[in-house]
Amino acid sequence: MVAMFFIIDDDHQDMLGEYTSLDFGLAELYRLAGIPYDEDPNRAPCTSWAGCGRAWTLYDDRVGRGVDLRVVATLTTSQSGHEWSVGPDAVPSEVDAIDARARSRRARRIRLAAKHWSADH
Ligand SMILES: [Zn+2]
């Protein structure tokens, strides 16, 4: 089966994995949300990892890689906490799915930044 979604740490250009469905991709972001910033794979690969973090971004590649990538969601991890962001082009059903994940029990300490995506993030 062809992977249509993938997760990259945009801050370090580090590919985490490829997924065959949006749900699998979101499940992986959800798993990452439960891991401390200083444990793999959330521990940044740079020498300044202690003051750094990850910007795990879930991309929708259904129209073909490199053609029109769509950001579905981002999970940033750092010492000050993890934060979900909904991508600028996320559709309502995706926002609901991300919302549900972000509000779940294990992700309680995560602040939901949905619907307030900023371009300079
Ligand atoms: Zn770094």
Domain boundary assignment for the chain: 5-112
Task: Output the pLDDT for position 100.
Answer: 79
Task: Output the pLDDT for position 38.
Answer: 95
Within 8 A by CB and 6+ apart from 39, the residues are none
Ligand 1 center to 85 CA (angstroms): 19
Region 7-15: mean pLDDT is 95
With cut-offs at 50, 70 and 90, classify the pLDDT of residue 20.
very high
Ligand 1 center to 54 CA (angstroms): 7
**Can you tell me the distance from the alpha carbon of 58 to that of 52, in angstroms, rounded to the nearest whole number?**
19
Ligand 1 center to 41 CA (angstroms): 13
Is the pLDDT at 12 greater than 50? The verdict is yes
Ligand 1 center to 47 CA (angstroms): 7
Ligand 1 center to 107 CA (angstroms): 23
Q: Is 92 exposed, middle or buried (0-12, 13-18, 19+ CB in 10 A)?
A: exposed
Within 8 A by CB and 6+ apart from 42, the residues are 32, 35, 36, 53, 54, 77
Task: Output the pLDDT for position 67.
Answer: 59
Which of the listed ranges 52-61, 81-90, 100-109 does the model predict with the highest average pLDDT?
Answer: 52-61
Give 41-54 pLDDT, tens digit per residue.
Answer: 999 999 999 999 99
Q: What is the pTM of this model?
A: 0.80
Type of residue at 33 = A
